[in-house]
Each structure stands twice: as C-alpha cells, then as structure tokens.
Amino acid sequence: MDEQVTVTELPLPKYTLNEEQERKEILRQYRALLRSLRTKLKRGDKELVRRAFEMAVEAHKTMRRKSGEPYILHPLDVARICVEEIGLGVRSTICALLHDTVEDTDITLEDVEREFGNEIARIVDGLTKISNVIDTNTSAQAENFKKILLTLTDDPRVILIKLADRLHNMRTLDYMKREKQLKIASETVWVYAPLAHRMGLYNIKTELEDLSMKYLEPEAYKDIARKLAETKRERTRYINEFIKPLKEKLQKGDFNFEIYGRPKSIHSIWNKIKKKAVAFEEVYDLFAIRVILNSPPEKEKEDCWKVYSMITDEYTPSPERMRDWLSNPKSNGYEALHTTVMGPQGKWVEVQIRTRRMNEIAEKGLAAHYKYKEGSNDEDRFDKWFGQIREVISSQDTDTVDFLQDFKTSFLVEEIFIYTPRGDVKMLPIGSTALDFAFSIHSAIGSKCIGAKVNHKLVPISYKLRSGDQVEIITSNKQKPTEDWLNFVVTAKARSKIKDSLKEDRRRIADEGKYIAQRKLEGMGAAFNQHNIEELVNFYKLPSQLDLFYNIAIKQNDLKELKEFNLLGDKLEAPKPQKTVTEVKIETDYKPQPNKKDSELIIFGESSDKIMYSLAKCCNPIPGDDVFGFVSTGKGLIIHRTNCPNATQMMANYGHRIVKTKWAKNKEISFLTGLKIVGMDDVGVINKITNVISGEMRVNIAALTIESGEGIFHGSIKVFVHDKEELEELVTRLKQLNGIHTVDRFDAEEEK
C-alpha cells in the first residue's frame, strides 16, 4: 500500500504559476518512487525516505531547472533511475534525493549525518566531490577524479548514483545552451559512458552514448534514427523469420526461454559506419537476437551451450566471431555466449545467449552482481578490479590530466585474458603489451623485463598481446626502465611504476646538478637561496627546480649564460625583458593575407568581436562547418570542427578553455580541403571530374591523383573552396556523374 500524503502536510514551496498542478506532479513522482521501492522497504524505511524527501523539497524550494520546472523533480527522477534502472535500494534512494543539497543549498554535510547517519553522509559527500570536478582547471579536475575513484572503491554506490544523475541531465539537455550541451555531451562520452560500461550498466551506457551523439553529431544521429525507423517493419519481418525455427527447437528441448531481436544503438551503428567506411545499408548487424533462459544456477553453463549447439545446427556460425564469456566472464561480471551466424537471405546475425541471472547482471550491473553474490566470500573479478584501481590511485602522485587518460586506457576498455606459464589467467585491457603483463605480475618483474616468450616464441617488450596468449617474462638484473617504455604500455600500473623509476633516476642526477649550480652562484658572489633558484628556473623557462638541476647535470643548460645576469646585492635578476620586444615585433610584422586560410576573421562569443585565429591541422575546418574555439597556451585561439577526432577529449578535459564560435561571411578567402572519389574506371572519367570541378564550379584544384586497378579507380583531389555550402554542392554534382560510387571529404593535411 502506498504511503498516504496530503498536499498540506508537505513543506512544498509556494509557486505563483500553476502552484496546485506542480504540487500534484511532485506528489505523483514521490508516490511512483515509493511504488518502485515497495519490495525493498523494511520497517522504518518509509519514514526515512519521507524525511529525505521533505528535506530535499525544503532545501530546493526556491530553485527551478532551466526548463522552468521545480528543481525537486530532478532528485526524484534520479532516485527513480537508481531504483528502477540500476536496482539500488533504500539507502541509495535517500542519497539520490539529497545528492545536490550540500552543494547547492544551505544544508551541510553535518545536517545530513545528524539526520541519516555516517554511511549516507559519506555517499552524499562523494557525490558533492564529483560535482566539483566540472569547470575547474585540469590538474584540479584530475585530482578530484581521483577522489571520485577512491570513493568508488570505498562505496560503488557513489558512482552509480552519479551515473543516474548524469543520465537524467542528458535526458533533459535540450534546455541548455549549445556550448554547454557540447561540453556536457563530450564529458559524458569521454568518461561517464565508459564508466557505465565498466560497471556493467549496458543499457545506461548505450543511452548515454546515443544522447551524447544527438548533440555532438546531430545530422548523423538524425540520419541513422530516420533510417532505423524506415527499416523497422522489414527488420521485424526478418527477425520473425530468423527466430521461428529456433523457437521450435527450444520448445522441443523443454527450455523455459524468451527470444527476441533488439536494434543496435545508433552510436554503435555510427561507429561501425566510420570504422569500416561503409554505408548504413551495408552494416549487417543492425540488430542482435537475444535468447534468455530460465535455468537453475547449477545448469546455467550446460543449458547455454546446449542452446548454442541448437542455433549453430540451424545456422552456420562465423568461427572468428564467437565470444565465450561463460568460461571467462568480464571483470564487470558480464557473462554470456555470443555468436554470429549466417541467417536467411545471406545476412549475418549476432545471437546472444544468457540466463535470467546473467541478463539482470548485464542490464543492472554492479547492483545485481552484489545481489547474487550475497553469502559468498569469494573474491571475484569485480573485487579484483576495485583492488587494482585502489593500488594505482594510492601509488600515483600525478595530478595531471594524464591520470584521466591512464585510467581510461587501463580500466574503461574491453579486456583480453592472458595465461601465465602455470596456467593462471590475468585480465588486461585491450592493447596491452608484454611489458604491461610483466608489471601486472609484479613491479620488480616489470622493471627488469628484457623480453618475453609468447606461446613459446621470443618477442620484444613492446609486443601487443592477444586474448588467449600464454606469456613467460624474461628478466635481467642489469635492466632498468627508460623514457621509451612509456610508449610501450597502456595500463595505469605500468605507467605509474615506470614514471616512479624515472623520477628516482632524475632526482639522483638532479642532486649533482644542484651542487654544480651552488658552486657557480657562490663563485659569482650570489647567494644560493630560493629566490635566486626561482630566478634561474624562470630564466631558463623550465617548469620546476628539479628540471633546472637535472638539465644542469646533463649539460643541457649552460651556466655560462649567467654572466648576462645583473647582480643587485643578493638578488639575481634576468636581463631586461627581451620577450616583450619579440612579441611586439611578431604583432607589428603580421600582415593578414587574404589568400591565407589562417587570416580570416570569425565572430565569437555573444558579442560580434572579430579576432585573429588559426585553423586546427587535425580537422581543417572550413566556413559552414560546426566549429568551436580552443584557447591554447602560446598559439592563441585555434578553431576545431565539433566532430574533430580530438574534440570530445578537449571539451571533457579543458571545458573552461572552449569558446563559442561561428563563421563570418567572407567569400574572398579559399580553404584547402580534400575529396576521396571511388568509381568505375571508364574512358574519360578524369575529364568528367575535372570538368565539373574547374569548368562548372570554377573551383581551383591544388592536387589530383588517380589510381586504378581491376576496373575500379580511387581518386584523391585537393581543392580550394570558399565554404561548406560550396563543398557540398561540389560533392552533389560529382555524385551525379555516371560511374561515381562514393565521394567523401577528407582533411587535406592528413595526407603528406
């Protein structure tokens, strides 16, 4: 029975607009939350949830969201996602209701602790820390991210509630400004979607990726969504045809099962289109067939393999696309059998086989995993994963953005499993090398590694491992880490141990440099004190004292230059600043040249200021492209396309340096861009192409290469266009020519 609450009992704020309707909506959402929690409520829990709700209503009473609705609806929605989509319980619900109170309102952590105890206060504190990650400088951001992960290893509910919060923010992102949408979406796809994947929350990960794509790549998103809608009826017919014989076999085998097809996410289809360079129509696995069995725990594996056998009897499997996560579950707890089979009409179809327990873990991740684990003391893969994170975070002293990158490549990617010579299994991130494996065994073995035997064959330390390899590490006492090693590893543990070892060496060498600097300064009659050392660091433009002493020791910085310094008592001062003179010279000598792409003017921000900028070499934007500005150190404003390969990383990690930009109309300036053309090799094809470009469109060609073979030609053309519209018109006209198969833009700088 739902808790009965009257409107007058609640400390709801007084609104002048639709006050009664808003009260009713808040109560409706609150009752829906209680209904979702019904099976989890123990004695006294309902009162606790009610108190948390009242505290949140009172705290947020004057606040509204960008959409104009009362703010309290946000924590209520987050709490419902926690319960309904992640499977969390009463404590997490209370934390979700209070997750913004300490950060945004007058309520303190002490108030929460006094009312609900230490456990809930600790989780709310963790959630508050995560919120502070956003919009800070990068080193503070990485530092806060480490705090999140430490909290995660203490209590994973922190990250689960944060993921629910982020999911609701993404669902309501329409009300934000465009630049805010880009920043939040980039951050989501960069950190939060992989984290959801790693926690086993596949549905949430998929929705986060799709929603991010909706804002980062709106055209591609709409295009794929439209094509999926158009092909739905055809897909449904095909799925029914595919499933029919399998259903009959499973029923004859007395299995208690569900079988259905579900479409792949828009984001994963888009990734496939990009990676394989194919059109939407050529992506064969637009959907996956899922078989879910109701099997007792002791028969789960046996039943899954029996079903696999029935499916592969009916349809021929592709041997290299078989995935066995029954024998080797992922470290986020995911278990299933995946196979790709040749279905009717010569189409490949992915089939996933799992039990109801496995399905719940696949969809609700960590929360479901711990539910099934109750009563077992085994340290499983999830616990080991947390242990690895704890080890890496506690040993790292870096506070740079490298930490985020290391964490991503170590813990947020797919895994491979590697065997030791004794047959033990080690899980490593995809892309790991023999050196990563050595460090995963022990840091002392990693530091002395000189090579490895993979499947009994000798390989170098940089050798990339594949799932199923058996690896034996070869060591030498004379070996020690070098700077190059950082290019050979992807795991955070290996990177951190290599950096520690390099720092130790650096410190030892720097001690010699310190002694040399002291003698030199004292020989000049200057004191060896902190002020003078800082003056030297500035003079040589180095980041720290350690770098100064190290460079002096290896003779990279010549101390003879110190004679140029002025001595005033004990003060050491640099010569008159030449830097400003150089800067002035650069500015006064600079003459904008109308034909140079770097000199065009753009409008940025809310005002109509015009400013000098340069175009990013990584994505070569042209007028009409959706772009943003990035304030770089030393190079001023650099313009990138919003779908630049580096855009998500920049927006997620350096959001405070992103500037809103748009193009000014200027038809006089040409921009170099490239087109790749593929078609049938026919007489006069080059003449047709050049006639469209130079004759009809009057576009200048910078370079043209055509390679043909076996009746197909591949052309690469670099052209100067004024803007995106002109480029699109050119592409359309080329595509209309007989025998032209595809015309795709590429960044002219990428082919040297």
Give pLDDT tens digits for 280-311: 777 766 778 999 999 998 899 999 999 999 99
State what percent of residues in the chain have pLDDT above 90. 11
- Other CB atoms closer than 10 Å to residue 125's CB: what's the count? 16
| pLDDT tens per residue, range 86-127 | 888 888 899 999 888 888 888 888 888 888 888 888 888 877
Handedness of CA 11, 12, 13, 19 (dihedral sign): negative
**Between residues 111 and 519, the one the model is more confident about:** 111
**Between residues 609 and 343, the one the model is more confident about:** 343
For 671-750, which CATH superfamily applies?
ACT domain (3.30.70.260)
Question: Taking all residues of the chain, what is their mean pLDDT, rounded to a whole number?
Answer: 77
Q: How confident is the model at residue 12 (pLDDT cuts 50, 70, 90)?
A: very low
Alpha-carbon dihedral 278, 281, 283, 284, rounded to 10 degrees? -140
Residue 478 has pLDDT above 90, yes or no: no
pLDDT value at position 389?
61
pLDDT value at position 735?
87
Q: How confident is the model at residue 371 (pLDDT cuts 50, 70, 90)?
A: low
673 secondary structure, DSSP code: E
Angstrom distances, CA of residue 38 to CA of 49, 71, 372: 12, 25, 20
Handedness of CA 736, 738, 744, 745 (dihedral sign): negative
Q: How confident is the model at residue 379 (pLDDT cuts 50, 70, 90)?
A: very low
543 by Cβ neighbours in 10 Å (0-12 / 13-18 / 19+) ranks as exposed
pLDDT value at position 382?
59
- CATH level 2 (architecture), domain 382-499: Roll (3.10)
Q: How confident is the model at residue 2 (pLDDT cuts 50, 70, 90)?
A: very low
Residue 609 has pLDDT above 60, yes or no: no
Q: Which amino acid is at 417?
A: F
pLDDT value at position 79?
92
Q: How far apart are CA 17 and CA 3, in angstroms?
A: 27
Per-domain residue ranges of the chain: 7-217, 225-373, 382-499, 500-575, 582-663, 671-750
pLDDT value at position 41?
83
What is the DSSP pairing of strand 287-293 with strand 348-355? parallel
Q: How far apart are CA 226 and CA 223, in angstroms?
A: 5
Residue 385 has pLDDT above 70, yes or no: no
- Other CB atoms closer than 10 Å to residue 14's CB: what's the count? 8
327 secondary structure, DSSP code: T
User: Span 657-667, mean pLDDT?
Assistant: 71
- 706-709 long-range contacts, CB within 8 A, separation 24+: 708/681, 709/681
Q: Which residues pair with 295 in a beta bridge?
A: none
pLDDT value at position 211?
92
Residue 76 has pLDDT above 60, yes or no: yes
User: Catalytic: 723?
Assistant: no
Please state the pTM of the whole predicted model. 0.62
Q: How confident is the model at residue 135 (pLDDT cuts 50, 70, 90)?
A: very low
State what percent of residues in the chain have pLDDT above 70. 77
Span of 103-117, 125-139, 346-360, 618-632 with lowest mean pLDDT: 125-139
Angstrom distances, CA of residue 633 to CA of 108, 151, 640: 39, 33, 15
Which among 104, 402, 681, 729 is annotated as catalytic? Answer: 104
Span of 79-93, 391-405, 492-506, 539-553 with lowest mean pLDDT: 391-405
**Between residues 542 and 120, the one the model is more confident about:** 120
**Between residues 564 and 525, the one the model is more confident about:** 525
**Phi then psi dihedrals of residue 596, to 5 deg:** -95, 130
CATH topology of domain 225-373: Beta Polymerase; domain 2 (3.30.460)
CATH class of 7-217: mainly alpha
Residue 570 has pLDDT above 60, yes or no: no
Which among 22, 45, 69, 103 is annotated as catalytic? Answer: 103
Angstrom distances, CA of residue 430 to CA of 108, 321, 418, 491: 43, 17, 11, 10
Q: How confident is the model at residue 384 (pLDDT cuts 50, 70, 90)?
A: low
pLDDT value at position 565?
52
pLDDT value at position 170?
92
pLDDT value at position 438?
93
Q: How far apart are CA 685 and CA 692, in angstroms?
A: 11
CB distance 720 to 658 below 8 Å: no
User: Catalytic: 391?
Assistant: no
pLDDT value at position 574?
37
**Between residues 466 and 552, the one the model is more confident about:** 466
Opening angle at CA 310, ends 272 and 321, nearest 5: 25
| pLDDT tens per residue, range 218-276 | 998 898 888 888 888 888 898 899 999 999 999 998 899 999 888 888 888 888 888 77
User: Span 134-138, mean pLDDT?
Assistant: 43
Helical segments of 673-723, H only: 685-690
Residue 351 has pLDDT above 90, yes or no: yes
